[in-house]
């Protein structure tokens, strides 16, 4: 089965910029199968989104990480096979996608590279706050998440253009350790976390084949 390129326009932010679906700020990447964290994100325009990041399986030395995003009632699900920290796109080896009850689509690294080469400009799917800068240590703090009080280490990131982000970190928020982030009007807040994540996009899949290729 061949899937035409134009039919995937709506999925391009996921396909071509996988790293934008993961926290792109100071974090500690510690994958452990079964661990998941659910967040509320607020972007610079005030738009809210729900983001659940789950480590669902291990394939040899690699990890499958599933990301469920919900924006204005529209929900999408993607899975990424990664060889390391997925905030670096070069570590993404495969992507799997499913829309509604349709087939699971699998995109290998070679096809991902071809897609990226043909589309030089892709808007990030999420991404908030500065991603690089000077780190400043801050006093430890506690963050109330539901009925839990989570002790957190705390850092401040100051970018070269003067943007700042304050980040609260704890191992309770695997796989990235981020409990809360504040950067101007942008924010990310942990809503819940657990250790019982199960894969939803593993199993038989339809490989993506671009027009003009076999």
pLDDT(198) > 80:
yes
Query: Is 195's pLDDT higher than 80?
Result: yes
What is the predicted pLDDT for the residue at 21?
64
Name the phi and psi angles at 19, rounded to 5.
-65, -25
Domain that holds residue 189: 134-194
- 45 in a structural domain: yes
**71 and 115 both lie in a single domain:** yes
Dump pLDDT digits (tens) for 108-159: 998 888 877 776 544 444 467 777 778 888 999 999 998 999 999 999 988 8
Q: In whole angstroms, what separates CA 27 from the centre of its chain? A: 12
Q: How many domains does the structure of the chain reveal? A: 2
Q: For 29-70, what is each residue's pLDDT tens digit?
A: 899 999 999 999 888 888 888 999 999 999 999 999 998 888
Residue 180 shares a structural domain with residue 89: no
pLDDT for the residue 127: 61
Same domain, 46 and 85: yes
């Amino acid at each position: 089965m061949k899937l035409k390129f134009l039919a995937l326009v709506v999925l391009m932010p996921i396909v071509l910029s996988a790293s934008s679906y993961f926290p792109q700020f100071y974090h500690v990447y510690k994958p452990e199968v079964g661990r998941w964290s659910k967040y509320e994100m607020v972007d610079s325009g005030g738009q809210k989104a729900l983001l659940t990041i789950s480590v669902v399986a291990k394939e040899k030395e690699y990890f499958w990480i599933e990301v469920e995003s919900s924006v204005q009632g529209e929900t999408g699900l993607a899975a990424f096979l990664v060889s390391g920290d997925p905030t670096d796109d070069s570590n993404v080896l495969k992507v799997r996608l499913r829309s509604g009850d349709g087939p699971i689509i699998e995109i290998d690294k070679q096809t991902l590279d071809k897609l990226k080469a043909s589309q030089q400009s892709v808007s990030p799917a999420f991404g908030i706050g500065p991603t690089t800068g000077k780190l400043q240590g801050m006093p430890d703090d506690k963050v109330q998440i539901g009925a839990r009080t989570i002790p957190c280490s705390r850092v401040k990131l100051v970018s070269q253009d003067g943007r700042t982000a304050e980040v609260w970190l704890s191992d309770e928020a695997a796989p990235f350790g981020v409990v809360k982030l504040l950067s101007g009007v942008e924010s990310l807040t942990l809503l819940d976390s657990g250790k019982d994540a199960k894969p939803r996009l593993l199993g038989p899949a339809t490989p993506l084949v671009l027009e003009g290729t076999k």
